[in-house]
A and B are shown apart, each in its own frame.
Chain A
């Protein structure tokens, strides 16, 4: 199965749905794909410790070495990788603003969200500073959703035209789901399109093509469907990788504890369906918490505590 199709999740994953437990984690774009950062971090860590350039890096830059910790995964790494003792407390990655000097000297390479200016590397975005060995980059934490091909998103049907359904993603870009891509079935000419999807329906859909003026969607793929009743939680699209967590750790945690079915769209729409409204609200609170505190390390553990406490109170 094409691995890229797996960025939305369905909770009811039976054995046949195993495959789309995998997530695309913004690897190509570097939007904070936690999976990748973990790897490159580990492989580069030792060499970096030896580098005499270490002192040139800003203090907080060092912090980020521990700050990659994604909750349970992060704490698994040994103390050996820790920097100087006093750094242990500030595990949080530094928040940088545009124009800030994030590294000095030619030993570093500017990655996403940074640029070289003479001897310095400056941040060009508002976000979290990250180091992968010699590469310095800034992960943006705010901003608008830009559709990318093969993103799994949740959109709302806002209109029906003779050629298909108009889908809104809650941002300024809307797009078309054409008849050909609308269903796996053959759609007859002059068929009543509301039989498939009506205005106001929410769809888990895939971005099929991004054009200069609009976006095309497709409903052909595993897990793509019309959503029935449930709760929609809207979050900042840049927080989506964090809400999913490394290999789905965060969203799985919320699903398990709150006993909900959750689908995360890359556009920041999250569909929650539980057996009762209380579990849905609990899942919503947890998601909102992840969004608000996405910059904090060991978030999975904290969210786990939060959920356990909330469950205890009930």
Chain B
């Protein structure tokens, strides 16, 4: 079945409504909130501080330690809180996605802790988490060469879409066969570099490069939102 109209009526290259805020957690050194429609993430950054256990320390470079988790009420079936196989994987890829943006060589033997919590989930939680974490890192005053913007692209019933929702991820052909490909991508938008690329499903290489171009375009838009959010974090005099 061809996918001609998206479930929520968006254009194929349109993301959901984006909302972003920084400074949402008072006790954290840096914090941010980022939402794609119903997918809502908050991120808190602590540190840099000395990394323990000591054998993990690197005398030339700091480390980002990321902790991704979903609130138990974020999905319709209760999610058991705490780290699981999925959470650990996402924490790991998020670390890798954020690392190239932060000047970690300034913090030898140190760790920067990033806690990402998903408040509500409707697909694309890791991308929302990365966007929030990138804002939180900047808000924590850490030296960064670029922000990180992330979005998922996918092929749904033969059609390329940006920022998938749950229904699209679970899209099935008439014969009951699953035909959705989900590709979370993270960019360093200014440098035009990819820092996260995962792929779940099938896609031809030609379509993949097309999908990546769509993702980059969306990431540039997200980047603009992130920049605006940081700049507007300061209020006018009243």
Contact = CB atoms under 8 A, between A and B. Distances in A.
A213 B146 contact: no
B143 to A, nearest CB: 4
A103 interface: no
A98 B100 CA distance: 13
Contacts of B146: 98-99
Contacts, number: 77
Interface of B: 23, 29-30, 46-47, 49-50, 101, 103, 109, 138-147, 188, 190-191, 226-227, 230-231, 233-235, 237
Nearest to B103: A124
B140 A143 contact: yes
B147 to A, nearest CB: 6
A235 to B, nearest CB: 11
Contacts of A292: 235
19 contacts: A97-B227, A98-B145, A98-B146, A99-B144, A99-B188, A125-B142, A141-B141, A142-B23, A142-B29, A142-B139, A143-B29, A143-B141, A144-B46, A144-B140, A172-B49, A213-B50, A238-B141, A293-B234, A296-B237
B140 A99 contact: no
Interface of A is mostly: loop
Contacts of B142: 125, 143
A212 B147 contact: no
Most chain B CB atoms below 10 A, which of A100, A140, A142: A142
Contacts of A99: 144-147, 188, 190-191
Per CB-CB distance, the 7 closest pairs between chain A and chain B, nearest first, are A143-B141, A98-B144, A99-B146, A144-B29, A140-B141, A124-B143, A126-B138
B49 to A, nearest CB: 6
Contacts of A125: 138, 141-144
Interface string A90-116: 000001011110000000000001010
Interface string A144-168: 1000000000000000000000000
A97 B29 contact: no
B170 to A, nearest CB: 36
A113 B143 contact: yes
Nearest to A99: B146
Contacts of B140: 142-144
Interface in A290-304: 292-293, 295-296, 302
A298 B230 CA distance: 23
Contact of B138 (A97, A122, A172, A302): A97
B231 A97 contact: yes
Interface in A259-314: 292-293, 295-296, 302
A227 interface: no
Given A173-B49, A212-B50, A296-B237, A144 B145 contact: no
